[in-house]
Each structure stands twice: as structure tokens, then as C-alpha cells.
Chains A and B, each alone.
Chain A
Amino acid sequence: EDQVTQSPEALRLQEGESSSLNCSYTVSGLRGLFWYRQDPGKGPEFLFTLYSAGEEKEKERLKATLTKKESFLHITAPKPEDSATYLCAVQAATDKLIFGTGTRLQVFP
């Protein structure tokens, strides 16, 4: 069965304290892995798409990487404005998009 698991569920960081969020997946025929950011009371906002193992994408303090079984979202020197829930989703060969439950990140000054 296609499945996406994100860890940890919640993460508290001090401003400037770098860390990583994990998204592990099992899917039949991965077509793509996607990261979204969701602020409280808002809809998810697209961050990255990764298509194949070894691929990396960067945007400001965020860097997403992909292996055959998991993806990491690395946050370098986070700021309080990086506080949000980060969602991972995978697209199977059937075109079905499966979302994880997210990691809630809080960055304190």
C-alpha cells in the first residue's frame, strides 16, 4: 500500500539552530515527491518538486533532497518566520497524490 510518513510530528528550534525534517515513503512507481508549507488557517503553499533519487532543490534557508526511500527538508539557520507545518506528498504511477500528516515546526527567537 502506498504510504507517506513524516517525522518528527513536531519540532522546536532556537533561531539559528539547523535541523532536518524527514519524509519516508513507499509507493508504486514514484513520479514525484513534493514539499509544501502550511501556515495556520491557510492553505498549503508549494515549495519543491523532486523527481529522482539524488536530486536536490534549494530556496533560501530550505534544501530538499531525495533518496529511493525518503526525502529530507534541511533548514539552515532558521528564523521565526520559518515556523509552519511542512507537508510532504508523493505521486504514484497511478497519478494519485498521497500526503503525509506533516511536521509542525516552531522556531523561537
Chain B
Amino acid sequence: NAGVTQTPKFRVLKTGQSMTLLCAQDMNHEYMYWYRQDPGMGLRLIHYSVGEGTTAKGEVPDGYNVSRLKKQNFLLGLESAAPSQTSVYFCASRTLAGGKNTGELFFGEGSRLTVL
């Protein structure tokens, strides 16, 4: 009963390095999301996906790329990390509940990224 699993949980990068965060969900959810959470700011949406093979930009997409090759996985990539990308990243998923969005997002435990 894993739910949403994020790897890695912690990572330190140097400016300019690249990396990929992996999110896996075992609930057969259609929708998947990547958020970042910074002190004093609400959760901000980076990118999201409404189904396998589809992705869309959120509120703060610059500097990030995503892919959803399999329904259960959603990858977040940083091509050239910058100190401004130091943050805690959360992946979330939800099901397509009929015609009404319940808003019930299931979150992973977060990935803490530091860019030096």
C-alpha cells in the first residue's frame, strides 16, 4: 500500500548540474502533478499530466521538464540547476472521479533539493 513514492528524498546539486526526480503511484490515477514548496509561499504547480503521454505547464514551469511515458510514473527534470530551484518538491496524484473533481490529491513525502 505504497501510494505515491518519490525518489530521491534528498539531493544536493551544484549549479549547472542536471537531475531527474521520479514519482511513482500505484493507485491507477489519471492525473499527476509536480509542486514546489518554499517557506512563506503556498504550494506552486510546476507541471501536470492528465494522462499517459500528456503533460502541461503549471504556474512555475521555467527550468523544468517532465515526462509521463507510463501511467504510473511522472518524471521531473532539471536540465541546468540554479540556486533558485532549491526547494522541497512534492508529487501528487488523483483519480478522475466521475464528473466532479473531489480535489483529493494524494501526495508523496517530498524530495528536498539543494542547489549550491
CA distance A70 to B45 in the complex (A): 23
From A11-19, A56-64, A72-80, A92-100, the one touching the partner chain is: A92-100
Decide: B104 and A46 in contact? CB cutoff 8 A.
Answer: yes
Chain B interface, DSSP helix/strand/loop, else mixed: loop
Interface size classification for chain B: 10 to 19
Within 8 A of A (CB), among B64-83: none
Decide: B107 and A45 in contact? CB cutoff 8 A.
Answer: yes
Chain A residue total in the interface (Cβ 8 A): 23
Contacts of A102 in B (CB 8 A): 42
Q: B27-46, CB under 8 A of A: which get 1 and which 0? A: 00000000000001111110
**Number of inter-chain CB pairs below 8 Å:** 50
Decide: B109 and A43 in contact? CB cutoff 8 A.
Answer: yes
Decide: A97 and B45 in contact? CB cutoff 8 A.
Answer: yes
Decide: B105 and A32 in contact? CB cutoff 8 A.
Answer: no
Could you pull out 8 A-B pairs where Cβ atoms are within 8 angstroms? A43-B90, A43-B108, A45-B107, A46-B105, A87-B43, A91-B101, A95-B101, A99-B42
Additional 10 contacts, C-beta under 8 A, given A43-B90, A44-B43, A46-B104? A4-B42, A31-B101, A32-B102, A32-B103, A36-B105, A43-B108, A44-B107, A95-B101, A96-B45, A98-B42
